Amino acid sequence: MPRFLPLLLLGLLAATARAQPAESPPARPEDTPALPAEETLEPELAPAFAPQPITDWLAAQVELHRRGFSCGSLDGVRGLQTAAALKAWQKNEGLPETGDLDRATRETLLLTAPVLADYVFSAEDLAALQPVPDTWLGKSQTDALRHATALELVAERFRANPKLLQKLNPAVDWDDLLPGTVLVVPDAAVVPAPGRVARIHIYLAEKSLQAVDETGRILLHCPVSIARNVEKRPVGELHIVVVVPDPNYTFDPRSFPRCPRPRNSAAVSSSRPAPTTPSASLGSASTAPATASTAPPNPRRSAAPSPTAASASPTGTPAPSSASPGPACL
């Protein structure tokens, strides 16, 4: 081997070593530049609902109901109950009590939210349906008196007249309503008025009830059913002695001679608390014998916006009733 070959190999190895980059020391945390922060996108908030003028009677009914002035079941028609509710609201606002959507009323009574909303009929809704027996004896033998049809359930839940729901949902087959069906319903959720109920006025001639505070301002107005027998209509001042949530209902056939009776004429049947029990979700008893106040089970008669005002009425609250246009005592 020539003498210069080892020297040549050593030279090549040295050149190769110089060509390779030197290994960098590990980077320290303080030497590492911070990465640019990702932009945080704020979630889009739904635009606030701007108060809007009332344009029709359904909108008026819904907004009045939200404020505690019930027109009965929502149907979009100006009837006696709607006019009475509007007059009561106009009285609160110091407006002429016309019962009409006049200019002053339209300028003051503004929509605070959309009139209609979507509701998804659920599997739980379907499972809650149950046929209701025709007789009181049969009703007393069920575990509870539930809604018989989907139309009845939705109508009562949203305080709507069944005909209005059918009009708002023309393509819906109410007899074969499936879970997941989207329904259009009135959105009349009540916003409780501030204040405490001091007195409850029951106007027998007008078939209406008003709960007022110490100043006389109306906190709740709703139509009520009055006993057909005049002798059973108490006139004067009564006092609430008990308020019962989810009461049962006891039926004594001796008090209803025209109703079909069981073989034992003295039999008394009791219906358990349920959506269609005559006593509904809240009941109260007064100092007058055999008198009580309950929420109606029939969606066409659904009047009281909610039990809020009633539950705010402590025992001992005066409940004057009068056959005349004015209350028995103030």
- DSSP states of 229-276: SGGGS--EEEEEEEEEES--EEE-GGG-TTSPPPSSTT--EEEPS-TT
Q: What's the pLDDT score for residue 310?
A: 41
pLDDT in tens, 132-150: 888 877 877 888 788 999 9
Question: Which residue is associated with the tokens 């929509």?
Answer: 111
Residue 77: pLDDT band (50, 70, 90) is: very high
Q: What's the pLDDT score for residue 274?
A: 60
Q: What's the pLDDT score for residue 287?
A: 52
pLDDT reading at 297 higher than 70: no
Residue 166: pLDDT band (50, 70, 90) is: very high
Strand duo 110-111 + 182-186: pairing: unpaired
Q: What's the pLDDT score for residue 284?
A: 52
Encoding tokens for residue 30?
Answer: 């303080």
Q: What's the pLDDT score for residue 4?
A: 44
More confident residue, 60 or 310: 60
Q: What's the pLDDT score for residue 164?
A: 98
Q: What is the identity of the amino acid at 233?
A: R
Encoding tokens for residue 46?
Answer: 């739904």
Distance CA 179, CA 223 (A): 34
Q: What's the pLDDT score for residue 2?
A: 52
Q: What's the pLDDT score for residue 218?
A: 97
Encoding tokens for residue 194?
Answer: 């501030």
Q: What's the pLDDT score for residue 135?
A: 81
Encoding tokens for residue 74?
Answer: 């929502």
Distance CA 177, CA 159 (A): 19
Q: What's the pLDDT score for residue 46?
A: 57
- Per the prediction, the chain carries an average pLDDT of 77
Average pLDDT over residues 236-260: 74
Residue 282: pLDDT band (50, 70, 90) is: low
Of all residues in the chain, what percent carry a pLDDT higher than 90?
46
Q: How many CB atoms lie within 10 A of CB 165?
A: 23
- CATH numbers and ranges of domains, the chain: 52-186 (no CATH), 199-246+281-322 (2.40.440.10)
Q: What's the pLDDT score for residue 245?
A: 78
Do residues 165 and 185 make contact, with C-beta atoms less than 8 angstroms apart?
Answer: yes
pLDDT reading at 324 higher than 50: no
- Return the top range by mean pLDDT from 115-124, 257-266, 292-301: 115-124
Encoding tokens for residue 133?
Answer: 């027996």
More confident residue, 328 or 122: 122
More confident residue, 269 or 62: 62
Least confident of 146-160, 196-210, 226-240: 226-240
* Residue 322 main-chain phi, psi, to 5 deg: -150, 145
pLDDT reading at 10 higher than 50: no
pLDDT reading at 174 higher than 70: yes
pLDDT reading at 30 higher than 90: no
More confident residue, 322 or 90: 90
Encoding tokens for residue 154?
Answer: 């939705």
Q: What is the identity of the amino acid at 5?
A: L
Average pLDDT over residues 225-240: 79
Encoding tokens for residue 48?
Answer: 């606030």
Q: What's the pLDDT score for residue 143?
A: 80
Reading across the β-sheet that carries 208-212, which strands appear in turn? 218-223, 208-212, 199-203, 318-322, 236-245, 282-286, 292-294
Q: What's the pLDDT score for residue 327?
A: 39
